[in-house]
A and B are shown apart, each in its own frame.
Chain A
Amino acid sequence: MSTKVVDRAPLTFYERTYLPAILGGIKVTSKHLFNTLVKGKAVTMEYPEQKWVVPAGYRGAPYLVKDQDGATKCVSCQLCEFVCPPKAIKITPPGPEGQPADRANAEKMPREFEINMLRCIFCGFCQEVCPEEAIFLQKDYSLTGQSREEMIYNKEKLLKLGGTHAGIQKWKHKLEEAKEQETFPVPTP
């Protein structure tokens, strides 16, 4: 492959004094100085006093959510643990002797659910894979702590931060459907 050598015009005497470049720079700086001091239009933000408001659909830290009745939605299926690329999620399943689930017909909920926020890359795979609408990437983007241990968020903390999300209420509807069938013959509408 042939290469084409481009001619570089030598600098003129005026250009070699660097004055045009310096003046150009001063012009840009004074424009911003004027905008900031006189017009009050700052480009930067006084973080952390001033907080950035994230746009809708922003993918922040993943938290667990509760259902409309305040019950844990997570059923410990461990798909998020499986899919998590940086292995930030660690779930302890209830096991045979575990605590019964908040919703009786969901049978199962995690004994412990930990997300290591130092590892989490906010990719959103956990939210995407969750079959129970139990984990959502929310708007928190700045997570800080004094120690590594503090940055491992446990189930209690994640549920507190996550808030409530009713969603399709699968388990509630299943329960209602099953209750209706307890009377026989099934009442026809």
Chain B
Amino acid sequence: MSNAATTAPAPAAPPPVEKIRIKVDGRDVEVPKLLPNWQGKLEPTTMLQAIQIAGGEVPHYCYHPKLPVAGNCRMCLVEFGTPMIGPDRKPVLNEDGSPKIAKSVLPYEPSTPRGAIACATPISPGMELYPNSPATKQMREAVLESLLINHPLDCPICDQAGECKLQEYSVQHGQATSRFVEAKVHKPKAVDLGPRIVLDDERCVLCTRCIRFSKDIAGDDALGIVNRGSYNTIAAWKEGAFDNNYTLNTVDLCPVGALTSKDFRFKMRVWFLKETKSVCTSCGTGCNITVGSREGAIHRYEPRENDAVNGPWMCDAGRLNYKWVAREDRLKDVLIRGAKAGWNTALKEISAKLAAAPQGSVALIASARQTTEELFLLGKLARKLGALTDSVPRLGEGDRLLVNVDKNPNMNGAWLTGVAAVPAAGGRLGLIAEAIRSGQVRTLIVFGEDVTKCGIGTDLLAKLETLIVSDILPSATTATATYLLPGCAHAEKRGTFVNAKGRVQKFMKAVEPKGDARAEWEFLHELVHNVTGQNGFSTIEGLFNQMAAEVPAFSGLEWAKLGDTGVTVQI
């Protein structure tokens, strides 16, 4: 979200990068002199970045690659040395001709090594870093001990347990027992910070990631630190006032269990969650997400880093928009004129009807919430039947960060596959309504939309001979359907969406569909085969590759080439 990262691929030939030679743990490493900072601007490479390039790891709490550097947790302290310079301003050499290194020590106590915080210290030529030296290890141990002094150690009731940096670093760098025998400082627990956030002050390590995120990324300077010394606490400027649309990112950012989500509070231990790579469907941005599910129930969405789309963030509205998948009134049965039926019977009858339908007597209203593959199949069907097609526009409010004005996750997919009206989706809905009224259209196919809300009322639907509807949740349209085919939510099938900027992104199946519901592309494949006689694939991969071969915008794409973060196409 920062800077220009949301735009298309990187320029073809980057200018040559100036490099610096340093030593990490005695190994020669060449690292770029400048690296992008949290805003993407080039800044001198820090010790932490250099060690990461060298393949090492520096434990840290307050540092985050997408936030301004604060340097207050001290966890990333690393012992280092710089080449010694003589009085003549020339490097002092060892007997073997190598430059003499002056290790950084305390000025008043030269026998004690003095570390530097790796997250904020730039490297210089010839510098030597010792991220695994005994002195560095001792510094880490001491910092961790100090951070744990007032920590309540209530991991059994903490939602962060399992993905907590304090837990991880205690295992890696900490001590087995506590030497602290005094009473711990008790701070407020379960503080209401905002409508979606709970704060536990005792667990906080005061890294200020949440403060920096709110101020510098979300642009809502709502958080700060109050009180003094060991009574330091994070607070919102007014109780419950931390309520912007990006607050839940602070829960991901919080390295400990201080900030937790009210929605996910005490819901499931994180180690039980199956993580599935997916894409958010709440707007045209198409933020990359990880779906956390267990035993067929979705428990949470989390943003998945993709610098070309959402960076590591996502909005609260999108993150909490998962509960409809588990709604009780989900459509679960195939219905023929309101009576329960099997898939085979329904598909056979529909195929026969469509195959016999005269050209132009069928209209098709698709949804830009469907996957590109499904829209492609619907497009094929429509071309064979000479059908009028369109999709339903869904515009809302956007913002300067991630929320797009288009609330359809796949509007571009609907345009590229030729299903939606150009230039504005919904432009042909009036035509379709008129054609139904005049009796020219006898069969209407509706996917995932309630057409009664967009100009085709129940009176018009009653005039139809056949109304074929596929949807996930019941609506006035599904109630009047001749054939009702229960479909799947995006978390229950695989497919791709094309976001508002033309990025083709695939998503994976997290949970099983409810009842008899089937992924739309599966039964559409059958219908298209029965009606047009075309076939050529049996999997979603095959379907995508076939679509890539037939739709010009997707030419050259392959399912496997999309990767986890997608590919941008010309729109």
On A, residues with C-beta under 8 Å from B are 75-79, 82, 93-96, 98, 105-108, 131-132, 174, 177-178, 180-181
Contact = CB atoms under 8 A, between A and B. Distances in A.
Residue of B184, B265, B266, B267 contacting most chain A CB atoms (<10 Å): B266
Contact of B152 (A96, A98, A174): A174
The 9 closest A-B pairs by CB, nearest first: A77-B156, A178-B186, A96-B265, A108-B157, A78-B269, A131-B156, A94-B266, A75-B157, A95-B267
B560 interface: no
B64 interface: no
A94 B159 CA distance: 12
Given A75-B157, A82-B272, A174-B152, A95 B186 contact: no
Q: Is the interface of B mostly helix, strand, loop or mixed?
A: loop
A77 to B, nearest CB: 4
Contacts of B190: 107
A139 B266 CA distance: 32
Interface in B245-286: 262-269, 271-272
A105 B152 CA distance: 12
B224 to A, nearest CB: 22
24 contacts: A77-B161, A77-B269, A78-B269, A78-B272, A79-B156, A82-B269, A93-B269, A94-B266, A96-B262, A96-B263, A96-B267, A98-B266, A105-B189, A106-B157, A107-B157, A107-B190, A108-B157, A108-B266, A131-B155, A177-B183, A177-B186, A178-B186, A180-B183, A181-B185
A95 B161 CA distance: 16
B399 to A, nearest CB: 26
Contacts of A78: 269, 272
A95 B269 CA distance: 11
B563 to A, nearest CB: 32
Given A107-B266, A131-B155, 19 more contacts: A75-B156, A77-B157, A77-B269, A78-B272, A79-B156, A82-B272, A93-B266, A93-B268, A94-B266, A96-B262, A96-B266, A107-B157, A108-B266, A174-B186, A177-B183, A177-B184, A178-B186, A180-B183, A181-B183
Contacts of A178: 186
Interface string B42-73: 00000000000000000000000000000000
A179 B269 CA distance: 30
A131 B269 CA distance: 15
Chain B contact patch, size range = 20 to 34
B157 to A, nearest CB: 5
A73 to B, nearest CB: 11
Contacts of B155: 77, 131
B156 to A, nearest CB: 4
A177 B182 CA distance: 11
Contacts of A94: 266
Contacts of B185: 181
Contact of B267 (A93, A107, A177, A180): A93
B186 A181 contact: yes
Nearest to A74: B156
Nearest to B262: A96
A131 B272 CA distance: 18
Contact of B266 (A76, A174, A180): A76
A107 B268 CA distance: 15
B271 A82 contact: yes
A46 B516 CA distance: 56
A95 B271 contact: no
A76 B266 CA distance: 9
Nearest to B202: A178
Nearest to B263: A96
A76 B161 CA distance: 12
Interface in B307-355: none
A95 B268 CA distance: 8
A91 to B, nearest CB: 9
Interface string B141-185: 000000000001001110001000000000000000000000111
Contacts of A180: 183
A115 B271 CA distance: 20
Interface string B175-212: 00000000111100110000000000000000000000
Contacts of B156: 75, 77, 79, 131-132
Contacts of B266: 76, 93-96, 98, 107-108
Contacts of A98: 266
Contacts of A95: 265-267
Contacts of A108: 157, 266
A180 B183 CA distance: 10
Contacts of A93: 266-269
A105 B186 CA distance: 12
A136 B58 CA distance: 41
Interface in B452-475: none
A91 B269 CA distance: 11
A62 B175 CA distance: 32
Nearest to A111: B266
Contacts of B271: 82
A95 B157 CA distance: 12
A189 B190 CA distance: 31
Nearest to A107: B157
Nearest to B198: A96
A134 to B, nearest CB: 9
A76 B269 CA distance: 9
Contacts of A132: 156
Residue of A78, A98, A180 contacting most chain B CB atoms (<10 Å): A78
A95 B297 CA distance: 13
A82 B155 CA distance: 15
A188 to B, nearest CB: 12
Contacts of A105: 189
B188 to A, nearest CB: 10
B542 to A, nearest CB: 37
Contacts of A75: 156-157
A106 B154 CA distance: 9
A107 B190 CA distance: 9
